[in-house]
Amino acid sequence: MLFTQIENKPEPAIPLFSKACLNWEKLNEKEQLEHHQEKKNYIKSLYRLANVILEKGDVKGALARITSCIAKDEKRNYISVPFKYFALGKGLF
């Protein structure tokens, strides 16, 4: 967040958001249930990663991540629905 929101440096944020996503994804289903309170951080990292990657010009990578974010967040809406679909629209445009 420091790199993207405060310093406006997306490049160093990409590996950090990627690692945050990977940390969640490598957990098995039981571990994810045990750490369910952390799922919101995973969803937020996935969303922010998609936006940073899109900003860097990797449209396919961004679309894959925002699509995944929408699918994984459809029940809880940790990220506001208009924000998610706006990011999807930017990628598709």
Per-residue model confidence as pLDDT tens digits over 48-59: 999 999 989 899
CATH number at residue 55: 1.25.40
Which tens digits make up the pLDDT trace of 10-53? 778 888 899 999 999 999 999 999 999 999 999 999 999 999 99
* DSSP states of 51-86: HHHHHTT-HHHHHHHHHHHHHHTTTT-SS-HHHHHH
Nearest residue to 63 via CA among 26, 89, 45: 89
Residue 6 confidence (pLDDT) above 70: no
Residue 61 confidence (pLDDT) above 70: yes
Full-model pTM:
0.86
Q: 25 is in which domain, residue-wise?
A: 2-92
Total number of domains constituting the chain: 1
pLDDT at 13: 84
